[in-house]
Amino acid sequence: MAQVTAPTIILKSGYKKDENVEVRVKVKYNSTTGLKFVDGKFLPGDKPADYISKVEVFYGKELVSQFDLTAATSPNPLFRFRLTLDKAEPIKAVVTNNGGQKAEATQAVSF
């Protein structure tokens, strides 16, 4: 399995309190389905599936977004969602692969 590395949390600069902003979480991970295409059919490959299975995003202690994923997720995915920044607490993204390995990143929010 590939090593899970910390994701990147991207926020626009100059946000204000109570502003609804787009949050982006970029994950660098070379996912594979574990399948190979032979004679017009998908068959089990030489390597097992290896992919990001879950992305959880917290604002302070509150879970604000969760993505449950499958082997069909593309390598190096970018997740986007909107969030109202109403408190000066960090945003934390936790990425888990299908082998249970985790990595996380935190982005401070201040006004």
Task: Summarize pLDDT for 8-41 with one digit per residue, the tens.
Answer: 999 999 999 999 999 999 999 999 999 999 999 9
Q: Which residues contact 63 (CB under 8 A, 6 or more apart)?
A: 56, 57
List the structure tokens of 65.
Answer: 């977004």
Distance CA 52, CA 66 (A): 12
pTM: 0.91
- Sorted by where each begins, the domain ranges of the chain are 8-107
Fold of 8-107: Immunoglobulin-like (2.60.40)
Mean pLDDT confidence for 68-75: 95
Instruction: Read off the pLDDT band of 2 (50, 70, 90).
Output: confident
